[in-house]
A and B are shown apart, each in its own frame.
Chain A
Amino acid sequence: MTAFEVNGRKVDLEVDPRESLLAVLQDRLHLYGTKKGCDHGQCGACTVHLDGRRVVSCLTLASQVEGREVRTIEGVAGEDGTLHPLQRAFIDNDAMQCGYCTPGQIMSGLACIAEGHTGDDDEIREYMSGNLCRCGAYVGIVAAIRQVAGPAEA
Protein backbone atom coordinates (compact mmCIF):
# COMPACT_ATOMS: atom_id res chain seq x y z
CA MET A 1 0.00 0.00 0.00
CA THR A 2 1.14 3.53 -0.73
CA ALA A 3 0.01 6.16 1.78
CA PHE A 4 0.21 9.88 1.13
CA GLU A 5 -1.79 13.10 1.49
CA VAL A 6 -3.65 14.91 -1.25
CA ASN A 7 -4.87 18.42 -0.44
CA GLY A 8 -4.75 17.57 3.26
CA ARG A 9 -6.70 14.34 2.89
CA LYS A 10 -5.01 11.01 3.71
CA VAL A 11 -5.15 8.35 1.03
CA ASP A 12 -3.89 4.80 1.10
CA LEU A 13 -3.90 2.88 -2.17
CA GLU A 14 -2.58 -0.25 -3.77
CA VAL A 15 -0.64 1.14 -6.74
CA ASP A 16 0.87 -0.60 -9.73
CA PRO A 17 4.58 0.34 -9.88
CA ARG A 18 3.96 1.50 -13.47
CA GLU A 19 1.37 4.11 -12.47
CA SER A 20 2.29 7.77 -12.55
CA LEU A 21 1.09 10.17 -9.88
CA LEU A 22 -0.96 11.83 -12.63
CA ALA A 23 -2.76 8.57 -13.44
CA VAL A 24 -3.50 7.94 -9.78
CA LEU A 25 -4.86 11.48 -9.27
CA GLN A 26 -7.18 11.18 -12.24
CA ASP A 27 -8.19 7.54 -12.44
CA ARG A 28 -8.11 6.49 -8.81
CA LEU A 29 -8.88 9.68 -6.89
CA HIS A 30 -11.08 11.28 -9.57
CA LEU A 31 -9.24 14.57 -9.31
CA TYR A 32 -9.46 15.65 -12.92
CA GLY A 33 -8.20 19.22 -12.41
CA THR A 34 -4.64 18.10 -13.04
CA LYS A 35 -4.39 17.72 -16.81
CA LYS A 36 -2.60 15.24 -19.03
CA GLY A 37 -0.99 17.02 -21.96
CA CYS A 38 2.08 15.32 -23.42
CA ASP A 39 2.60 12.70 -20.66
CA HIS A 40 6.38 13.15 -21.19
CA GLY A 41 7.29 16.10 -18.98
CA GLN A 42 7.36 18.57 -21.84
CA CYS A 43 4.21 20.68 -21.45
CA GLY A 44 3.66 21.30 -17.71
CA ALA A 45 -0.13 20.74 -17.80
CA CYS A 46 0.18 18.12 -15.04
CA THR A 47 2.14 20.34 -12.60
CA VAL A 48 1.35 19.71 -8.91
CA HIS A 49 3.18 20.47 -5.67
CA LEU A 50 5.02 17.65 -3.92
CA ASP A 51 6.05 18.61 -0.38
CA GLY A 52 5.59 22.21 -1.45
CA ARG A 53 7.67 22.08 -4.63
CA ARG A 54 6.36 22.04 -8.17
CA VAL A 55 6.90 18.84 -10.14
CA VAL A 56 5.36 17.24 -13.22
CA SER A 57 3.06 14.46 -12.04
CA CYS A 58 3.32 12.55 -15.34
CA LEU A 59 6.98 11.66 -14.67
CA THR A 60 6.52 11.06 -10.94
CA LEU A 61 5.99 7.42 -10.03
CA ALA A 62 3.01 7.03 -7.70
CA SER A 63 5.20 4.76 -5.56
CA GLN A 64 7.58 7.68 -5.03
CA VAL A 65 5.03 9.80 -3.14
CA GLU A 66 4.79 7.39 -0.20
CA GLY A 67 4.61 9.48 2.99
CA ARG A 68 4.53 12.79 1.14
CA GLU A 69 2.10 15.67 0.59
CA VAL A 70 0.57 16.39 -2.78
CA ARG A 71 -1.29 19.61 -3.57
CA THR A 72 -3.35 19.89 -6.74
CA ILE A 73 -5.44 22.66 -8.26
CA GLU A 74 -8.42 21.32 -6.26
CA GLY A 75 -6.57 22.32 -3.08
CA VAL A 76 -5.99 25.96 -4.08
CA ALA A 77 -9.35 27.71 -3.52
CA GLY A 78 -10.73 28.22 0.01
CA GLU A 79 -13.02 25.63 1.63
CA ASP A 80 -16.01 27.86 0.85
CA GLY A 81 -15.02 28.15 -2.80
CA THR A 82 -13.41 31.59 -2.51
CA LEU A 83 -10.84 31.81 -5.27
CA HIS A 84 -7.16 32.14 -4.45
CA PRO A 85 -5.79 35.59 -5.43
CA LEU A 86 -3.83 33.99 -8.29
CA GLN A 87 -6.97 32.33 -9.64
CA ARG A 88 -8.72 35.71 -9.42
CA ALA A 89 -5.75 37.33 -11.19
CA PHE A 90 -5.95 34.83 -14.06
CA ILE A 91 -9.56 35.92 -14.60
CA ASP A 92 -8.75 39.64 -14.21
CA ASN A 93 -5.93 39.43 -16.74
CA ASP A 94 -7.62 37.18 -19.28
CA ALA A 95 -4.80 34.67 -18.74
CA MET A 96 -6.47 31.79 -20.57
CA GLN A 97 -8.44 30.93 -23.64
CA CYS A 98 -9.33 27.23 -23.80
CA GLY A 99 -8.23 26.75 -20.17
CA TYR A 100 -6.64 23.32 -20.53
CA CYS A 101 -3.18 24.42 -19.39
CA THR A 102 -4.55 26.72 -16.65
CA PRO A 103 -4.39 24.35 -13.64
CA GLY A 104 -0.74 23.64 -14.43
CA GLN A 105 -0.05 27.35 -15.00
CA ILE A 106 -1.58 28.21 -11.63
CA MET A 107 0.30 25.50 -9.72
CA SER A 108 3.51 26.58 -11.42
CA GLY A 109 2.73 30.28 -10.88
CA LEU A 110 2.12 29.75 -7.15
CA ALA A 111 5.52 28.07 -6.87
CA CYS A 112 7.19 30.73 -9.01
CA ILE A 113 5.95 33.40 -6.58
CA ALA A 114 6.89 31.35 -3.49
CA GLU A 115 10.39 30.74 -4.88
CA GLY A 116 10.84 34.47 -5.45
CA HIS A 117 11.46 34.12 -9.18
CA THR A 118 9.42 37.23 -9.98
CA GLY A 119 12.12 39.94 -9.84
CA ASP A 120 11.20 41.21 -13.29
CA ASP A 121 8.97 39.96 -16.08
CA ASP A 122 11.88 38.25 -17.86
CA GLU A 123 12.49 36.20 -14.73
CA ILE A 124 8.80 35.23 -14.60
CA ARG A 125 8.97 34.17 -18.25
CA GLU A 126 12.14 32.12 -17.63
CA TYR A 127 10.70 30.34 -14.59
CA MET A 128 7.30 29.74 -16.22
CA SER A 129 8.78 28.40 -19.47
CA GLY A 130 8.00 24.81 -18.45
CA ASN A 131 4.27 25.50 -18.90
CA LEU A 132 3.19 25.68 -22.51
CA CYS A 133 0.00 27.46 -23.59
CA ARG A 134 -0.96 26.64 -27.14
CA CYS A 135 -3.59 29.42 -27.16
CA GLY A 136 -0.78 31.86 -26.46
CA ALA A 137 -2.14 33.54 -23.34
CA TYR A 138 1.39 34.18 -22.11
CA VAL A 139 1.05 37.96 -21.79
CA GLY A 140 -1.95 37.56 -19.50
CA ILE A 141 -0.27 34.80 -17.50
CA VAL A 142 2.78 36.97 -16.78
CA ALA A 143 0.49 39.88 -15.86
CA ALA A 144 -1.52 37.67 -13.47
CA ILE A 145 1.61 36.48 -11.69
CA ARG A 146 2.94 40.03 -11.57
CA GLN A 147 -0.34 41.22 -10.00
CA VAL A 148 -0.03 38.74 -7.13
CA ALA A 149 3.76 38.98 -6.71
CA GLY A 150 3.69 42.78 -6.50
CA PRO A 151 5.65 45.33 -8.52
CA ALA A 152 8.87 44.34 -10.32
CA GLU A 153 12.16 45.11 -8.58
CA ALA A 154 13.72 48.33 -9.82
Chain B
Amino acid sequence: MRSFTYTAPTSVADAVAAIASAGPQARFFAGGTTLFDLMKLGVERPSALVDVSRLGELEVIDTSGDDHLVFGASARMADVAADPVVLRDYPVLAESLWRAASQQLRNMATVAGNLLQRTRCPYFRDELYPCNKRRPGSGCAARDGIDRGSAVLGTGDACSAAFAGDWPVALLALDAVVDVVGPRGERTVTLADLHVEPGDTPDREHSLAPDELIVRIRVPVTPAGRGSTYLKIRDRESYAFALASAAVAVTLTGGGVVEECRIALGGVATRPWRAYAAERAVTGRPLSAETARAAGEAALAGARPGNLNAFKIELGERTVAEALRIAVERAGR
Protein backbone atom coordinates (compact mmCIF):
# COMPACT_ATOMS: atom_id res chain seq x y z
CA MET B 1 0.00 0.00 0.00
CA ARG B 2 1.24 3.47 -0.85
CA SER B 3 2.16 5.45 2.26
CA PHE B 4 -0.04 8.36 3.26
CA THR B 5 -0.45 10.88 6.04
CA TYR B 6 -3.39 10.64 8.43
CA THR B 7 -5.06 13.57 10.17
CA ALA B 8 -8.24 13.76 12.23
CA PRO B 9 -9.40 17.39 12.29
CA THR B 10 -11.93 18.43 14.91
CA SER B 11 -14.13 20.80 12.89
CA VAL B 12 -15.62 21.04 9.41
CA ALA B 13 -13.58 24.18 8.74
CA ASP B 14 -10.37 22.37 9.71
CA ALA B 15 -11.29 19.37 7.58
CA VAL B 16 -11.84 21.53 4.50
CA ALA B 17 -8.61 23.42 5.16
CA ALA B 18 -6.72 20.14 5.65
CA ILE B 19 -7.92 18.63 2.37
CA ALA B 20 -7.09 21.82 0.47
CA SER B 21 -3.56 21.99 1.82
CA ALA B 22 -2.89 18.27 1.31
CA GLY B 23 -3.25 18.46 -2.46
CA PRO B 24 -5.28 16.75 -5.17
CA GLN B 25 -4.57 13.17 -4.10
CA ALA B 26 -5.85 13.67 -0.55
CA ARG B 27 -9.15 12.03 0.35
CA PHE B 28 -11.75 12.34 3.06
CA PHE B 29 -11.95 9.16 5.12
CA ALA B 30 -15.09 8.17 7.02
CA GLY B 31 -15.96 4.55 7.87
CA GLY B 32 -13.24 3.35 5.52
CA THR B 33 -15.33 0.40 4.35
CA THR B 34 -14.92 1.42 0.71
CA LEU B 35 -11.70 3.42 0.84
CA PHE B 36 -9.47 1.24 3.07
CA ASP B 37 -10.74 -1.86 1.24
CA LEU B 38 -9.72 -0.40 -2.14
CA MET B 39 -6.41 0.92 -0.78
CA LYS B 40 -5.51 -2.64 0.21
CA LEU B 41 -6.23 -3.67 -3.37
CA GLY B 42 -4.13 -0.84 -4.80
CA VAL B 43 -7.19 0.55 -6.58
CA GLU B 44 -7.23 3.72 -4.47
CA ARG B 45 -3.86 5.39 -3.76
CA PRO B 46 -4.45 8.52 -1.71
CA SER B 47 -1.47 10.57 -0.53
CA ALA B 48 -3.29 11.82 2.57
CA LEU B 49 -6.39 10.86 4.54
CA VAL B 50 -8.49 13.43 6.35
CA ASP B 51 -10.64 11.49 8.83
CA VAL B 52 -14.13 12.99 9.21
CA SER B 53 -15.70 9.99 10.96
CA ARG B 54 -15.57 11.51 14.42
CA LEU B 55 -16.62 15.07 13.75
CA GLY B 56 -19.48 15.43 16.24
CA GLU B 57 -21.13 18.16 14.17
CA LEU B 58 -21.42 15.71 11.25
CA GLU B 59 -22.96 12.89 13.29
CA VAL B 60 -26.30 14.57 14.02
CA ILE B 61 -29.57 12.82 13.12
CA ASP B 62 -32.63 15.09 13.31
CA THR B 63 -35.94 13.64 12.14
CA SER B 64 -38.12 16.07 14.10
CA GLY B 65 -38.33 18.89 11.53
CA ASP B 66 -41.44 19.85 9.54
CA ASP B 67 -39.60 20.33 6.25
CA HIS B 68 -36.70 17.91 6.14
CA LEU B 69 -35.22 14.85 7.77
CA VAL B 70 -31.58 15.74 8.41
CA PHE B 71 -28.81 13.16 8.43
CA GLY B 72 -25.31 14.39 9.25
CA ALA B 73 -22.74 13.12 6.75
CA SER B 74 -20.97 10.96 9.33
CA ALA B 75 -24.10 9.49 10.92
CA ARG B 76 -23.69 5.72 10.82
CA MET B 77 -25.92 3.57 8.62
CA ALA B 78 -26.90 1.48 11.68
CA ASP B 79 -28.01 4.55 13.64
CA VAL B 80 -30.11 6.01 10.84
CA ALA B 81 -31.70 2.57 10.25
CA ALA B 82 -32.71 2.47 13.94
CA ASP B 83 -34.15 6.01 14.10
CA PRO B 84 -37.79 5.66 15.28
CA VAL B 85 -39.19 8.18 12.76
CA VAL B 86 -37.29 6.56 9.89
CA LEU B 87 -38.54 3.13 10.97
CA ARG B 88 -42.16 4.22 11.32
CA ASP B 89 -42.63 6.74 8.53
CA TYR B 90 -39.96 5.96 5.92
CA PRO B 91 -39.64 2.18 5.49
CA VAL B 92 -37.94 2.76 2.12
CA LEU B 93 -35.03 4.44 3.94
CA ALA B 94 -34.85 1.94 6.81
CA GLU B 95 -34.98 -1.08 4.47
CA SER B 96 -32.36 0.35 2.12
CA LEU B 97 -30.03 0.53 5.12
CA TRP B 98 -30.68 -2.67 7.05
CA ARG B 99 -30.72 -4.70 3.84
CA ALA B 100 -27.22 -3.38 3.00
CA ALA B 101 -23.89 -4.86 4.12
CA SER B 102 -23.73 -6.30 7.67
CA GLN B 103 -24.35 -4.82 11.12
CA GLN B 104 -20.57 -4.56 11.70
CA LEU B 105 -20.14 -2.59 8.48
CA ARG B 106 -23.23 -0.46 9.17
CA ASN B 107 -21.74 0.50 12.56
CA MET B 108 -18.69 1.83 10.70
CA ALA B 109 -20.05 3.10 7.40
CA THR B 110 -21.42 6.63 7.17
CA VAL B 111 -24.43 7.80 5.18
CA ALA B 112 -22.29 10.20 3.12
CA GLY B 113 -19.54 7.65 2.45
CA ASN B 114 -22.28 5.33 1.25
CA LEU B 115 -23.22 7.80 -1.50
CA LEU B 116 -19.67 7.76 -2.86
CA GLN B 117 -19.00 4.03 -2.60
CA ARG B 118 -17.45 2.49 -5.72
CA THR B 119 -18.72 -0.28 -7.95
CA ARG B 120 -18.24 -3.94 -7.02
CA CYS B 121 -17.42 -4.93 -10.63
CA PRO B 122 -14.78 -7.65 -10.04
CA TYR B 123 -12.56 -6.28 -12.81
CA PHE B 124 -12.50 -2.81 -11.24
CA ARG B 125 -11.30 -4.40 -8.00
CA ASP B 126 -8.50 -6.42 -9.63
CA GLU B 127 -5.32 -4.73 -10.87
CA LEU B 128 -4.60 -7.63 -13.25
CA TYR B 129 -7.37 -6.61 -15.64
CA PRO B 130 -7.89 -3.58 -17.84
CA CYS B 131 -10.61 -1.27 -16.52
CA ASN B 132 -11.57 2.13 -17.92
CA LYS B 133 -12.90 3.21 -14.56
CA ARG B 134 -9.73 2.32 -12.65
CA ARG B 135 -7.27 3.24 -15.41
CA PRO B 136 -8.86 5.45 -18.06
CA GLY B 137 -8.26 4.21 -21.61
CA SER B 138 -7.05 0.73 -20.60
CA GLY B 139 -10.17 -1.06 -21.87
CA CYS B 140 -12.99 -3.01 -20.25
CA ALA B 141 -12.41 -6.58 -19.11
CA ALA B 142 -16.09 -7.11 -18.37
CA ARG B 143 -17.03 -6.66 -22.02
CA ASP B 144 -15.68 -10.13 -22.93
CA GLY B 145 -15.76 -11.41 -19.39
CA ILE B 146 -18.17 -12.32 -16.62
CA ASP B 147 -20.56 -9.39 -16.82
CA ARG B 148 -23.45 -11.00 -14.92
CA GLY B 149 -23.46 -8.19 -12.35
CA SER B 150 -23.17 -5.34 -14.85
CA ALA B 151 -25.80 -2.69 -15.51
CA VAL B 152 -28.37 -2.70 -18.30
CA LEU B 153 -29.45 0.96 -17.93
CA GLY B 154 -27.21 4.00 -18.37
CA THR B 155 -24.47 1.87 -19.91
CA GLY B 156 -21.72 3.28 -22.12
CA ASP B 157 -19.15 1.95 -24.54
CA ALA B 158 -16.36 2.47 -22.01
CA CYS B 159 -18.06 0.97 -18.93
CA SER B 160 -21.26 -0.75 -17.81
CA ALA B 161 -20.35 -1.34 -14.17
CA ALA B 162 -23.40 -1.31 -11.91
CA PHE B 163 -23.78 1.22 -9.13
CA ALA B 164 -23.70 -0.94 -6.00
CA GLY B 165 -25.46 1.12 -3.33
CA ASP B 166 -28.96 0.87 -1.89
CA TRP B 167 -29.45 3.97 0.30
CA PRO B 168 -28.69 6.39 -2.57
CA VAL B 169 -31.48 4.73 -4.59
CA ALA B 170 -33.98 5.28 -1.76
CA LEU B 171 -32.77 8.88 -1.35
CA LEU B 172 -33.19 9.54 -5.07
CA ALA B 173 -36.80 8.33 -4.94
CA LEU B 174 -37.47 10.79 -2.10
CA ASP B 175 -35.84 13.78 -3.88
CA ALA B 176 -33.11 14.17 -1.25
CA VAL B 177 -30.35 16.78 -1.46
CA VAL B 178 -26.81 16.96 -0.06
CA ASP B 179 -25.24 20.07 1.44
CA VAL B 180 -21.58 20.41 0.57
CA VAL B 181 -18.83 22.66 1.98
CA GLY B 182 -15.62 23.44 0.13
CA PRO B 183 -12.93 26.08 -0.07
CA ARG B 184 -15.24 28.05 -2.40
CA GLY B 185 -18.12 28.02 0.09
CA GLU B 186 -21.28 26.00 0.58
CA ARG B 187 -23.70 24.62 -2.03
CA THR B 188 -26.56 22.16 -2.31
CA VAL B 189 -26.61 19.32 -4.84
CA THR B 190 -29.71 17.26 -5.58
CA LEU B 191 -29.36 13.48 -5.50
CA ALA B 192 -30.44 13.54 -9.15
CA ASP B 193 -27.38 15.67 -9.98
CA LEU B 194 -24.91 13.92 -7.66
CA HIS B 195 -24.11 10.77 -9.65
CA VAL B 196 -23.25 10.76 -13.34
CA GLU B 197 -23.44 8.13 -16.07
CA PRO B 198 -20.09 6.71 -17.24
CA GLY B 199 -20.11 8.11 -20.80
CA ASP B 200 -16.50 8.43 -22.00
CA THR B 201 -15.18 9.16 -18.50
CA PRO B 202 -16.23 6.26 -16.24
CA ASP B 203 -13.57 7.26 -13.71
CA ARG B 204 -15.74 10.29 -12.95
CA GLU B 205 -18.71 9.02 -10.93
CA HIS B 206 -20.14 12.11 -9.28
CA SER B 207 -20.27 15.87 -9.58
CA LEU B 208 -18.39 16.84 -6.40
CA ALA B 209 -14.89 18.29 -6.46
CA PRO B 210 -12.25 16.34 -4.49
CA ASP B 211 -12.04 19.12 -1.90
CA GLU B 212 -15.80 19.32 -1.29
CA LEU B 213 -17.06 17.81 1.95
CA ILE B 214 -20.62 16.52 2.23
CA VAL B 215 -21.88 17.85 5.55
CA ARG B 216 -25.46 16.57 5.56
CA ILE B 217 -28.18 14.84 3.60
CA ARG B 218 -31.68 16.33 3.69
CA VAL B 219 -34.83 14.42 2.77
CA PRO B 220 -38.01 16.46 2.20
CA VAL B 221 -40.77 15.37 4.60
CA THR B 222 -43.45 13.52 2.62
CA PRO B 223 -46.56 11.44 3.37
CA ALA B 224 -45.37 9.10 0.58
CA GLY B 225 -42.81 7.80 3.09
CA ARG B 226 -45.44 5.69 4.83
CA GLY B 227 -46.44 4.02 1.57
CA SER B 228 -42.94 2.98 0.66
CA THR B 229 -40.55 0.07 0.39
CA TYR B 230 -37.05 -0.81 -0.72
CA LEU B 231 -37.21 -4.24 -2.31
CA LYS B 232 -33.80 -5.80 -2.89
CA ILE B 233 -33.33 -8.99 -4.91
CA ARG B 234 -29.99 -10.80 -4.60
CA ASP B 235 -28.29 -14.17 -4.93
CA ARG B 236 -28.68 -14.86 -1.21
CA GLU B 237 -31.30 -13.54 1.20
CA SER B 238 -28.95 -11.39 3.27
CA TYR B 239 -25.53 -9.73 3.08
CA ALA B 240 -25.24 -9.40 -0.69
CA PHE B 241 -25.37 -6.58 -3.21
CA ALA B 242 -28.52 -6.09 -5.28
CA LEU B 243 -29.01 -7.83 -8.60
CA ALA B 244 -32.07 -5.63 -8.93
CA SER B 245 -33.77 -3.35 -6.45
CA ALA B 246 -36.61 -0.86 -6.43
CA ALA B 247 -37.36 2.05 -4.12
CA VAL B 248 -41.04 2.92 -4.39
CA ALA B 249 -43.08 5.51 -2.48
CA VAL B 250 -46.75 6.30 -3.14
CA THR B 251 -49.74 8.15 -1.80
CA LEU B 252 -53.32 7.12 -2.57
CA THR B 253 -56.56 9.08 -2.83
CA GLY B 254 -59.46 7.98 -0.63
CA GLY B 255 -60.67 5.88 -3.55
CA GLY B 256 -57.44 3.90 -3.82
CA VAL B 257 -56.14 5.73 -6.86
CA VAL B 258 -52.35 6.29 -6.95
CA GLU B 259 -52.00 10.02 -6.44
CA GLU B 260 -48.25 10.40 -6.30
CA CYS B 261 -45.61 7.83 -7.17
CA ARG B 262 -41.81 7.75 -7.05
CA ILE B 263 -39.76 4.88 -8.39
CA ALA B 264 -35.97 4.46 -8.42
CA LEU B 265 -33.92 1.42 -9.36
CA GLY B 266 -30.70 -0.12 -8.06
CA GLY B 267 -28.54 -3.03 -9.20
CA VAL B 268 -29.51 -2.64 -12.85
CA ALA B 269 -28.06 0.80 -13.67
CA THR B 270 -24.70 2.57 -13.73
CA ARG B 271 -26.01 5.16 -11.26
CA PRO B 272 -29.02 5.40 -8.94
CA TRP B 273 -31.79 5.44 -11.54
CA ARG B 274 -35.05 7.35 -11.39
CA ALA B 275 -37.82 5.79 -13.51
CA TYR B 276 -40.10 8.71 -14.41
CA ALA B 277 -41.90 6.85 -17.22
CA ALA B 278 -42.78 4.07 -14.78
CA GLU B 279 -44.11 6.64 -12.32
CA ARG B 280 -46.37 8.08 -15.04
CA ALA B 281 -47.63 4.60 -15.91
CA VAL B 282 -49.29 4.18 -12.51
CA THR B 283 -50.12 7.74 -11.44
CA GLY B 284 -53.83 8.61 -11.59
CA ARG B 285 -55.19 5.07 -11.58
CA PRO B 286 -55.70 2.27 -9.09
CA LEU B 287 -52.85 -0.25 -9.00
CA SER B 288 -53.61 -3.59 -10.64
CA ALA B 289 -51.31 -6.44 -11.58
CA GLU B 290 -51.40 -5.09 -15.14
CA THR B 291 -50.49 -1.50 -14.31
CA ALA B 292 -47.73 -2.71 -11.99
CA ARG B 293 -46.35 -4.88 -14.77
CA ALA B 294 -46.62 -2.00 -17.24
CA ALA B 295 -44.70 0.23 -14.84
CA GLY B 296 -41.97 -2.41 -14.59
CA GLU B 297 -41.71 -2.59 -18.36
CA ALA B 298 -41.58 1.20 -18.64
CA ALA B 299 -38.79 1.28 -16.03
CA LEU B 300 -36.59 -1.10 -18.01
CA ALA B 301 -37.44 0.24 -21.48
CA GLY B 302 -34.24 1.00 -23.33
CA ALA B 303 -32.20 -1.53 -21.33
CA ARG B 304 -29.05 -2.76 -23.10
CA PRO B 305 -27.88 -6.18 -21.86
CA GLY B 306 -24.33 -7.52 -22.16
CA ASN B 307 -23.46 -11.24 -22.42
CA LEU B 308 -24.66 -12.71 -19.15
CA ASN B 309 -26.94 -10.11 -17.59
CA ALA B 310 -30.03 -10.06 -19.83
CA PHE B 311 -31.92 -11.72 -16.95
CA LYS B 312 -31.75 -8.36 -15.13
CA ILE B 313 -34.32 -6.89 -17.50
CA GLU B 314 -37.20 -9.17 -16.50
CA LEU B 315 -35.92 -9.31 -12.92
CA GLY B 316 -35.95 -5.51 -12.78
CA GLU B 317 -39.47 -5.33 -14.23
CA ARG B 318 -40.79 -7.81 -11.69
CA THR B 319 -38.97 -6.11 -8.83
CA VAL B 320 -40.66 -2.80 -9.68
CA ALA B 321 -44.07 -4.49 -9.94
CA GLU B 322 -43.70 -6.27 -6.60
CA ALA B 323 -42.37 -3.14 -4.85
CA LEU B 324 -45.36 -1.19 -6.15
CA ARG B 325 -47.69 -3.82 -4.68
CA ILE B 326 -45.99 -3.59 -1.27
CA ALA B 327 -45.92 0.23 -1.29
CA VAL B 328 -49.60 0.54 -2.25
CA GLU B 329 -50.58 -1.98 0.42
CA ARG B 330 -48.68 0.05 3.05
CA ALA B 331 -50.18 3.33 1.79
CA GLY B 332 -53.65 1.84 2.15
CA ARG B 333 -53.23 0.92 5.81
Residues in chain A within 8 A of chain B (CB atoms): 17-18, 20, 39-41, 44, 47, 50, 53-56, 59-61, 63-64, 66, 108, 111-112, 115, 117, 125-127, 129-131
Contacts and interface: CB of A to CB of B under 8 A. Distances in A.
Contacts of A111: 103
A53 B37 CA distance: 20
B108 A55 contact: yes
B104 A54 contact: yes
Given A17-B3, A63-B8, 14 more contacts: A17-B4, A17-B49, A18-B3, A20-B36, A41-B33, A55-B107, A59-B31, A60-B108, A61-B49, A108-B104, A111-B103, A129-B239, A130-B103, A130-B239
Interface footprint category on B: 20 to 34
Given A53-B107, A55-B107, A64-B53, A126 B238 contact: yes
Given A41-B37, A64-B53, A117 B103 contact: yes
Interface string B101-117: 11111011000000000
A42 to B, nearest CB: 9
Given A17-B3, A17-B5, A40-B40, A59 B102 contact: no
Nearest to B29: A61
Contacts, number: 77
B311 interface: no
Interface of B: 1, 3-6, 8, 29, 31-33, 36-37, 40-41, 49, 51, 53-54, 78, 98, 101-105, 107-108, 238-239
Contact of A66 (B4, B5, B8, B104): B8
A61 B101 CA distance: 19
A115 B54 CA distance: 22
26 contacts: A17-B6, A18-B1, A39-B40, A40-B37, A40-B40, A44-B104, A50-B107, A53-B107, A54-B103, A54-B104, A54-B107, A56-B104, A59-B36, A59-B105, A60-B32, A60-B108, A61-B36, A61-B49, A63-B8, A64-B32, A64-B51, A64-B53, A129-B102, A129-B238, A130-B102, A130-B105
A41 B103 contact: no
B4 A61 contact: no
A55 B1 CA distance: 22
Contacts of A20: 36
A59 B32 contact: yes
Contacts of A129: 102, 238-239
Contact of A63 (B6, B33, B37): B6
- Cβ-closest 10 pairs across A and B: A130-B102, A129-B238, A129-B239, A17-B6, A53-B107, A63-B6, A56-B104, A54-B104, A18-B1, A59-B36
